[in-house]
Amino acid sequence: MAKVVYLSMPEHGHTNPTLPLVKELKSRGEKIIYYSDEPFRRAVEATGAEFRQYQFSFAKKDLRQIAKNPVKVIGLVAEASEELVLRNIDEVRRDDPDYIIHDSVAIWGRIIAGQLKKKAVNTMSTFVLNNEILFMSPDFVFTFPLLVLKGFSYYLQYLKYARLFSRKYGIRMELQDTLMNFEGLNVIFNSRYFQPGSKKLGDAFKFVGTSISEREKDPGFPYQELEGKKVIYISLGSVLDDPDFYCKCFQAFGGKDLLVVLSAGDMVNISDLGAIPDNFIVRNFVPQLEILQKAGLFISHGGMNSVNESLFYGVPLLIIPQQIENLMIAKRLVQLKAGVYIMPKKVSPRNLLEASLRIMSDENYRNGAKKIGDSFREAGGFKKAADEILAYTKEVQSQRVTDSESQSRGVIYHARKTV
C-alpha cells in the first residue's frame, strides 16, 4: 500500500472527475490524502480518502470576476501557487507520500513534488493545449493581445511569479504551463477521438475518457416530472451565472411542449428571476447526471466536465461560451456534429429556441454525441486511470515495501531511493 497526496484544484469541474479515481485507488489499497477546500470535504470523504484543508483558499468572488479572461486566471493562479507552496509544503513533507497527484492547474503541486523529489502524476479535466486547438480557434490568436491589455496587471503578476519560480524552484513556466503542468504521466479525462491533434501526443498522455460514478441522489428533486417529456437541461456551471440569460430562456421556452430544468447556481436568488414559466424546474443546484440521462439537449457554458458528462450519455449540446476554453470546446463539438454554439452577445429568445429545436430534431447531433460518448467508455474511465497510475508508480510502491520489510528486520535505511 502506497501513501498518496492529491493536490487538487478546488472547483467542481476539476474535482468531480477525480473522485471516482480516488475511490478506485483507495479500493486497491492506496492511502489517499486529498487536499482541497471545505465545500468539497463531504464529497472527498465519501471516497474513503482523508480530507485535508488547504492552508489557503481561493476567493470564489475573485474567480467569478476574472473567469472570462484567461490572462487574469493565470495571474491569480500564479500568485496563489506561491502561497499554497509556502503554507502547505511542510505538511506534505510530514505526510511523506510515496507519490503525488496534482491537478493540471496546480502549479503548487508541480513545485511541491519537485522540491520533495517525489514522483508525480498530472490529472487534466480539459483539452491538452496544442497547435491544433489554436488553429481551430484562430480568433484566439487575435484576441489574446486584447485579453493581455485588459488584464495587464495580472499578466505582470504572472511574469513576476514565473521569474520567482525559475529562480527559487528551478522550474520553467511559460504562459501555457500555468494551465498544463505536465509530468511524466498525464491522465486526461477525455478520449483521443475528442482531443484535437491527439495523434501527436505521446505515451506520457493517457486518455481515459470521462470519469463518472454514481453520486448521491437528491431525494427532493421531482424526477417523475421528467418522464415522457422532451427535456432541456440548462446550466452555466458553478462559477458563472447570468440572470439575464435565464430570463431569455424563460421567454424562449416558456409555454412550449418542453420540460426545462434550469440550474441557476448558488449566487442567484431564484425569487429575483421573476415569474417562472410552468414548464420550468428552477433550482440553485440539480442532480446533473440523473437529468442528463433524461435530456434531449444540454444548454451549457461549455465547461469540459459538464460537456463530457453530457456526451457520456449521448446528449448533444448548445454552448453559450463564456471563456476562450469554452469556445474551443464548442468548435470541436461543431466539427464532430455533436452540438452548436451561440456567442453570448448574440443570444436572443428566438435563436435559442430555433437552435434548440434544430438540434433536438436532427438525429445526426445525437449520433455525433453518442459517438464521442462511446469513445469515452472505450477509453476505460477511472479504472483505466488507476491502472495507469499504479503501473507508473510501481517502482516507488515496491521501494515502500522493501523499506518496511527491512525496518521490520531492524535494518535502518538512512536514505530512501530518489524517484
284 and 327: one domain?
yes
182 and 296: one domain?
no
Looking at the DSSP bridge assignments, the partners of residue 282 are 262
Q: pLDDT, tens digit, for every residue of 92-134? A: 999 999 999 999 999 999 999 999 999 999 999 999 987 777 6
69 and 184: one domain?
yes
Question: What residue numbers bound the domain in which 31 lies?
Answer: 3-209+380-408
Q: Is residue 216 a part of any domain in this protein?
A: no
Q: What is the mean pLDDT of residues 302-317?
A: 96
- Asked if residue 193 has pLDDT above 80, the reply is yes
140 and 172: one domain?
yes
Q: What is the pLDDT of residue 400?
A: 54
The sheet carrying 295-300 orders its strands as 280-283, 259-263, 231-235, 295-300, 317-319, 339-341
Percentages helix, strand, coil for the chain, rounded to the nearest 5? 50, 15, 35
Q: What is the pLDDT of residue 173?
A: 85
Q: Is residue 385 a part of any domain in this protein?
A: yes
Chain mean pLDDT for the chain = 89
Q: What is the pLDDT of residue 143?
A: 74
Q: What percent of the chain is modeled with pLDDT above 70? A: 88
301 and 328: one domain?
yes
Tell me the whole-structure pTM to 2 decimals. 0.88
Q: How far is CA 206 from CA 19, 48, 282, 333, 377, in A?
A: 18, 25, 38, 21, 14
Q: Which residue has better confidence, 139 or 338? A: 338
244 and 331: one domain?
yes
Q: Is residue 415 a part of any domain in this protein?
A: no
288 and 235: one domain?
yes
- Asked if residue 257 has pLDDT above 80, the reply is yes
Could you tell me the pLDDT band of residue 412, with boundaries at 50, 70 and 90?
very low
The sheet carrying 31-36 orders its strands as 50-53, 31-36, 3-7, 99-103, 119-124, 185-188, 205-207
Give kind and range of the element (H or E) at residue 400.
Answer: helix 394-408
60-74, 192-206, 297-311, 330-344: lowest mean pLDDT where? Answer: 60-74
Q: Is residue 366 a part of any domain in this protein?
A: yes
Q: What is the pLDDT of residue 226?
A: 96
Q: Which residue has better confidence, 221 or 415? A: 221
75 and 165: one domain?
yes
H-only helix segments in 313-348: 324-335
57 and 175: one domain?
yes
28 and 71: one domain?
yes
Q: What is the pLDDT of residue 150?
A: 85
Q: What is the pLDDT of residue 242?
A: 82
- Number of domains within the chain: 2
Q: Is residue 253 a part of any domain in this protein?
A: yes
276 and 144: one domain?
no
Q: Is residue 246 a part of any domain in this protein?
A: yes
- Asked if residue 327 has pLDDT above 60, the reply is yes
Q: What is the pLDDT of residue 381?
A: 96
CATH of the domain at 350: 3.40.50.2000
Could you tell me the pLDDT band of residue 401, with boundaries at 50, 70 and 90?
very low
394 and 356: one domain?
no
Q: Is residue 140 a part of any domain in this protein?
A: yes
Q: pLDDT, tens digit, for every residue of 29-74? A: 999 999 999 999 999 999 999 999 998 766 554 555 556 678 888 8
The 10 Å CB-count burial string (b at 16+, else e) for 58-79 is: bebeebeebbbbbbbbbbbbbe
Count of other CB atoms within 10 angstroms of residue 158: 23
- Contact between residue 211 and residue 189 where contact means Cβ atoms under 8 Å apart: yes
